[in-house]
């Protein structure tokens, strides 16, 4: 790297020039090992908080002294560094012109250059300081390396299993996405989506919201009181390259990832999450109606006005007191911008987008159009006007598909809240097919909450959790039948509990039976087809029982 990397004691020491990195010294020490800095990148337009990094010098001892205090271009081979979060690596990779990778080389990053770590394997500071906040350093380094290299061949799919422990639940919720096919190849049986069902208010959306916040957090943050109150994710060291939340409910008000700084003088991480969301980068992606950036800004402004560390919406609360919704033109611009990012990436992105579009373009919602839905069409069309002309359901489907194609990477966790909203059942089935296609292509995984038997029909019973709440205690169980490919009527009864006791048409038939007492007269009321088979059978059974 040819540019100077500045080392400063406070942010006011930033040199009067732009497009460079600086390391802000942190006085924190790990048992007298002082290695911690906060990395920033400054341009003429903005300041980007990259994240916390620890830098260790070979032979460094626990004497409380800082080894790196002067500006430099590149550290010698006597230094190594490691970012303290996956966001650190993702934000570096989001920088233009390969600046992020150059910085990693200049700092001797061991996730990028594994041979450097071998020289330091016996250094006390490696375990005591650099890896202090990691329960499983090797696993974290593998994830970080996969981000840097853009290759995930080193990540074993059988590692992708975790459990979520939440307050008020009778037991942990297990999510096992490991491929259990016996032939050693990736199974054709769908196993990359878990589905949550349950009555309104059973806790499905709350589970997704809390999981997003815990999954996005660093291992150190997960041990903070604020996040421990939400729940626990195990193993503690599990990481996710991206967390993608999808919700098109105008009433969604759940809190989003990001934690307040633990000490004064540190940048509020949520400020950088705002910038990441605005620019389509970072590890947290939101696809939906809410204007996340505006909400974060409003929340932090309220906190500044109260001048308090207390959450203005209530300590430990799951929901925001207020939300901000995007206007339709803003959503259309996001659609266009996401398409442009996909187009810039070239052939690989075009292939996966076409695969996903092939899953939905035969739906009647698209067959009447005078164009062929394809990546080429979307890349070359007037995306904003085309988007605005689509129906509500098609807008949602296309936004989801394009966003997933642009953002899903291996080990991404996709959280979708009620995808059936505004969708005709065949289009919902096609969307589910497209989502699975994208997830399988990238070896990513999803958890979906739903009230739709169409979603259940596409999912294995062992990966469906029926959530029930009794008083203040929640629990879950799997369906008692195999749901994959099952009849929708059977699923509606078995999974969602719709029986004759809560079907209104039975009440209507009872009234008609008492009034007319004659099947032919009742049949005549239902022109042109007469009674349905089920309704006729029900009435005949009632008439017979009265004889």
What residues contact residue 180 under an 8 Å CB cut-off, 6+ apart?
187, 191
Closest by CA to 300, choosing from 240, 244, 357, 260, is 260
Q: Which residue has the higher pLDDT, 446 or 1?
A: 446
Alpha-carbon gap, residue 211 to 362, rounded angstroms: 35
Q: Which structural domain, as residue segments, surrounds residue 420? A: 169-325+411-493
pLDDT of residue 390: 94
Do residues 93 and 185 both lie within one domain? Answer: no
Contact predicate 329/337, CB 8 Å: no
Peptide bond into 130 cis (omega under 30): no
Poorest-pLDDT segment among 177-191, 497-511, 523-537:
177-191
Do residues 133 and 24 both lie within one domain? Answer: yes
How does residue 150 score in pLDDT terms, banded at 50, 70 and 90?
confident
Do residues 199 and 279 both lie within one domain? Answer: yes
Q: What is the mean pLDDT of residues 461-484?
A: 93
pLDDT digits (tens, 9 = 90+) for 61-105: 999 888 899 999 999 999 999 999 999 999 999 998 899 999 999
**Distances, alpha carbon 308 to alpha carbons 220, 227, 302, 315, 409, in Å:** 23, 18, 10, 12, 38
Of 115, 149, 183, which residue constitutes the final position of a domain?
149
**Distances, alpha carbon 95 to alpha carbons 43, 50, 91, in Å:** 11, 10, 7
What residues contact residue 435 under an 8 Å CB cut-off, 6+ apart?
193, 400, 401, 404, 414, 416, 419, 446
75 within a domain of the structure (yes/no): yes
> What would the two tokens of residue 64 be?
């409380």
pLDDT of residue 502: 58
Of 121, 149, 177, which residue constitutes the final position of a domain?
149
How does residue 370 score in pLDDT terms, banded at 50, 70 and 90?
low
Do residues 291 and 274 both lie within one domain? Answer: yes
Alpha-carbon gap, residue 520 to 295, rounded angstroms: 61
376 within a domain of the structure (yes/no): no
Q: What is the mean pLDDT of residues 401-418?
A: 95
Do residues 429 and 313 both lie within one domain? Answer: yes
pLDDT of residue 504: 75
What is the residue whose two structure tokens read 């069902």? 197
The SS3 of residue 537 is helix
pLDDT digits (tens, 9 = 90+) for 29-51: 999 999 999 999 988 778 889 99
- Provide the mean pLDDT of the chain: 87
N- to C-terminal Cα distance for the chain? 94
286 within a domain of the structure (yes/no): yes
Query: Number of folded domains in the chain?
Result: 3
DSSP output for 401-461:
HHHHHHH--TT-EEEEE-TTTT--HHHHHHHHHHHHHHHHHHT-EEEEE-S-HHHHHTS-G
Poorest-pLDDT segment among 139-153, 172-186, 509-523:
172-186
Do residues 429 and 507 both lie within one domain? Answer: no
pLDDT of residue 547: 53
Do residues 50 and 140 both lie within one domain? Answer: yes
Do residues 246 and 125 both lie within one domain? Answer: no
366 within a domain of the structure (yes/no): no
243 within a domain of the structure (yes/no): yes
What is the residue whose two structure tokens read 């593998």? 142
Do residues 176 and 321 both lie within one domain? Answer: yes
Contact predicate 270/300, CB 8 Å: yes
Alpha-carbon gap, residue 357 to 434, rounded angstroms: 7
Do residues 74 and 107 both lie within one domain? Answer: yes
The SS3 of residue 234 is strand
401 within a domain of the structure (yes/no): no
pLDDT digits (tens, 9 = 90+) for 228-283: 999 999 988 888 999 999 999 988 888 888 877 766 656 677 888 878 888 888 89
Do residues 48 and 110 both lie within one domain? Answer: yes
Buried/exposed code over 96-112 (b: 16+ C-beta within 10 A; e: otherwise): eeebbbbbbebbbbbbb
Give every strand in the sheet of 232-234, ordered side by side.
Answer: 173-176, 161-165, 232-234
The total number of residues written for the chain in this structure:
547
Do residues 13 and 127 both lie within one domain? Answer: yes
Buried/exposed code over 113-150 (b: 16+ C-beta within 10 A; e: otherwise): beebbeebeebebbebbbbbbbebbebbbbbbbbbbee
260 within a domain of the structure (yes/no): yes
How does residue 15 score in pLDDT terms, banded at 50, 70 and 90?
low
Contact predicate 256/212, CB 8 Å: yes
What residues contact residue 392 under an 8 Å CB cut-off, 6+ apart?
422
pLDDT of residue 432: 95
Q: Residue 357's CB: how many other CB atoms inside 10 A?
A: 22
Alpha-carbon gap, residue 515 to 334, rounded angstroms: 58
Alpha-carbon gap, residue 419 to 449, rounded angstroms: 8
253 within a domain of the structure (yes/no): yes
> What would the two tokens of residue 322 be?
């207020």
CA angle 442, 194, 89 (to 5 degrees): 40
Burial category of 269 from C-beta neighbours within 10 Å (exposed 0-12, middle 13-18, buried 19 and up): buried
Q: Which residue has the higher pLDDT, 292 or 433?
A: 433
pLDDT of residue 473: 92
Alpha-carbon gap, residue 353 to 347, rounded angstroms: 10
């Amino acid at each position: 790297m040819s540019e100077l990397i500045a080392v400063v004691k406070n942010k006011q020491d930033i040199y009067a020039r732009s497009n460079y990195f600086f390391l802000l010294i942190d006085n924190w020490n790990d048992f007298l090992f002082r290695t911690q800095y906060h990395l920033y990148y400054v341009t003429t337009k903005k300041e980007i908080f990259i994240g916390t990094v620890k830098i260790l010098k070979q032979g460094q001892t626990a004497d409380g002294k800082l080894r790196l205090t002067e500006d430099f271009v590149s550290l010698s081979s006597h230094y190594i560094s490691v970012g303290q979060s996956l966001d650190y690596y993702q934000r570096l990779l989001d920088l233009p012109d390969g600046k992020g990778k150059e910085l990693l080389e200049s700092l001797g990053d061991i996730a990028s250059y594994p041979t450097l770590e071998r020289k330091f394997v016996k250094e006390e500071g490696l375990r005591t300081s650099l890896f202090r906040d990691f329960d499983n350093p090797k696993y974290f380094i593998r994830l970080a390396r996969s981000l840097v290299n853009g290759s995930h061949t080193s990540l074993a799919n059988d590692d992708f299993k975790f459990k979520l422990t939440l307050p008020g639940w009778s037991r942990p919720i297990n999510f096992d996405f490991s491929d259990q096919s016996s032939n050693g190849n990736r199974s054709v049986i769908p196993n990359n989506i878990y589905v949550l069902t349950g009555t309104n208010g059973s806790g499905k959306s709350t589970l997704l919201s809390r999981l997003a916040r815990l999954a996005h957090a660093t291992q150190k943050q997960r041990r903070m009181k604020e996040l421990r109150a939400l729940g626990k994710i195990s193993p503690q060291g599990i990481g996710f390259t991206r967390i993608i939340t999808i919700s098109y409910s105008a009433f969604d008000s759940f809190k989003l990832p990001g934690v307040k700084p633990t000490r004064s003088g540190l940048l509020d991480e949520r400020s950088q999450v705002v910038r990441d969301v605005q620019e389509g980068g970072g590890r947290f992606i939101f696809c939906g109606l809410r204007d996340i950036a505006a909400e974060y800004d409003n929340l932090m402004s309220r906190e500044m006005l109260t001048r308090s560390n207390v959450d203005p919406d209530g300590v430990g609360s799951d929901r925001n007191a207020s939300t901000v919704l995007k206007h339709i033109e803003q959503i259309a611009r996001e659609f266009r911008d996401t398409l442009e990012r996909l187009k810039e990436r070239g052939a690989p992105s075009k292939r996966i987008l076409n695969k996903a579009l092939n899953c939905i373009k035969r739906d009647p919602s698209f067959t009447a159009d005078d164009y062929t839905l394809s990546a080429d069409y979307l890349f070359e069309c007037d995306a904003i006007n085309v988007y605005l002309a689509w129906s509500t359901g098609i807008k949602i489907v296309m936004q989801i598909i394009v966003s997933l194609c642009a953002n899903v990477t291996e080990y991404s966790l996709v959280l979708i809240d009620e995808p059936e909203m505004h969708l005709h059942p065949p289009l919902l089935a096609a969307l589910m097919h497209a989502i699975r296609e994208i997830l399988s292509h990238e070896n990513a995984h999803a958890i979906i909450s739903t009230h739709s038997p169409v979603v259940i029909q596409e999912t294995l019973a062992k990966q469906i959790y029926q959530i029930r709440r009794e008083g203040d205690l929640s629990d879950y169980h799997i369906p008692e039948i195999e749901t994959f490919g099952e009849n929708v009527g059977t699923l509606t009864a078995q999974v969602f509990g719709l029986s004759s006791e809560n079907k209104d048409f039975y009440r209507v038939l009872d009234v008609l039976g008492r009034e007319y007492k004659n099947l032919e007269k009742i049949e005549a009321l239902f022109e042109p087809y007469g009674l349905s088979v089920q309704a006729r059978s029900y009435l005949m059974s009632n008439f017979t029982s009265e004889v």
